[in-house]
Structure 1
């Protein structure tokens, strides 16, 4: 527990500091975290990160991750999405060229994993660089952290009905409801002092979406770990597991709120 607290305080302070600083230091942090997260996913699948398969996954992920002001593909007359689609075709062709040493299953995993990690961290950067980005990012972080804390304590105190035992045996419906309730309360207090949206109805809907999709993101990563029979995604954060263990909710939330027009 002591190690967990020390790691949490140091890592949390560094993370918040770089969010406040923004600009290149923050972007470099996101690139580093996304690269480690992708490495963790590849290890779950037992794909060597420095192999052709692993490097393909990293390239895919970086294509989706890096913001426009850091990398541009106009010199080859292709948009980022078009280049991504081209690389998908190349990966599928490799399943034939390698005579199935690089399987269709592995190609699908590389594509899905790179989109999961790359888009999640990309939209976290995107949100930070908005005009009200700092207020938005802290609002999202507070909602995610409040949901996690509320779910933990409500689950321990009142949890009786399992939420999804096949995926995460310890999570309960009571815990989920408690997490959402605490997120709404703390998020509501936050917006009293730092309003993010002009309308209270939009603010309430945003808080609800972040809390619920954050819990779904946590279950998604739990499903990954259960499928690949691993306890933690990695050991980069002593006492806390890997980067995916800490950012699973966040990187699932970010593309969702972008698609719903909140960003």
Structure 2
């Protein structure tokens, strides 16, 4: 427990500092975290990250991850990001033939889905930070996600009786989920009094509900991965906390959702 607290304080302070600094240091660390997260997913699938399959997965993920201003460096290719991604999918499918199915269609599908999950998640986190009100937006999102986690934990311990999804995460309860969302609404509302992010209160409340619920779903998605691949933690990068995906599962699931809903 002591190790968990120490790691949490140090990593949390460093993470917040990087968000405030922004620019290149923030971008480089986000790319590094995404790379570690993809590495963890590949290891869950028992795909060696430095194999042809693993390197292909990394390339897919980086293509979706890197910001638009960096993608612009590759204008000489005369292809948009999506077109490059589709081209790599064709190459990946061809690889199943070239390797005589040593690299299977199932593994190709995993590589594509994993790269989308990690790549777009961290991409839109960086995208949000570099908006005009990016700093206030990022901290608003983090406060909602962290408040939801804390509220769900304490409400679940105190009031939890009805299991939320026992096949995926046996300890989570409906009461805990509701408590997490209520605490997120409370803390988030206090935050917006001092740092307003949206112009209307209705939009603010809707945003908080979406982020809280999507964050909980993201946590369940990561739990489903680990249960399917029979691992306790995604990795061991953070002593007492597991891997990068264990800490960022909610966040990288939330970011594409709020982008698609037009909040970013």
What TM-score range do you get, normalising by the shorter chain? Answer: over 0.9
Deviations 1:33-52 (A, max 9, x none): 00000000000000000000
Shift of 1:74: 1.6
Match of 2:106 in 1: 105
**Equivalent position SS for 2:198:** coil
**Equivalent position SS for 2:164:** strand
Match of 2:83 in 1: 82
**Equivalent position SS for 1:71:** helix
Shift of 1:68: 1.4
Shift of 1:70: 1.8
2:12 and 2:71 map into 1 onto residues whose CA distance is 29
Matched, 1:134 2:135: yes
**Equivalent position SS for 2:172:** strand
2:260 and 2:13 map into 1 onto residues whose CA distance is 30
Deviations 1:135-172 (A, max 9, x none): 00000000000000000000000000000000000000
1:197 and 1:259 map into 2 onto residues whose CA distance is 17
Deviations 1:173-199 (A, max 9, x none): 000000000000000000011000000
2:203 and 2:71 map into 1 onto residues whose CA distance is 34
Match of 2:97 in 1: 96
Match of 1:154 in 2: 155
Return 5+ residue gaps in structure 1 as ranges.
none
Q: For structure 1, which segment, 92-101 or 70-79, has the greater mean C-alpha deviation from structure 2 after superposition? A: 70-79
Match of 1:71 in 2: 71
2:164 and 2:41 map into 1 onto residues whose CA distance is 25
2:225 and 2:19 map into 1 onto residues whose CA distance is 28
Greater than 2 Å deviation, 4+ residue runs: none
1:187 and 1:246 map into 2 onto residues whose CA distance is 20
Match of 2:191 in 1: 190
Deviations 1:44-74 (A, max 9, x none): 0000000000000000000000001123332
1:54 and 1:94 map into 2 onto residues whose CA distance is 13
Shift of 1:243: 0.3
Shift of 1:228: 0.1
- Give the paired residue count: 263
Matched, 1:250 2:251: yes
Matched, 1:9 2:9: yes
1:136 and 1:105 map into 2 onto residues whose CA distance is 38
Matched, 1:49 2:49: yes
TM-score when normalising by structure 1: 0.99
**Equivalent position SS for 2:136:** helix
1:88 and 1:179 map into 2 onto residues whose CA distance is 39
Quote the RMSD (CA, aligned, Å): 0.5
**Equivalent position SS for 2:68:** coil
Match of 2:35 in 1: 35
Shift of 1:85: 0.4
TM-score when normalising by structure 2: 0.99
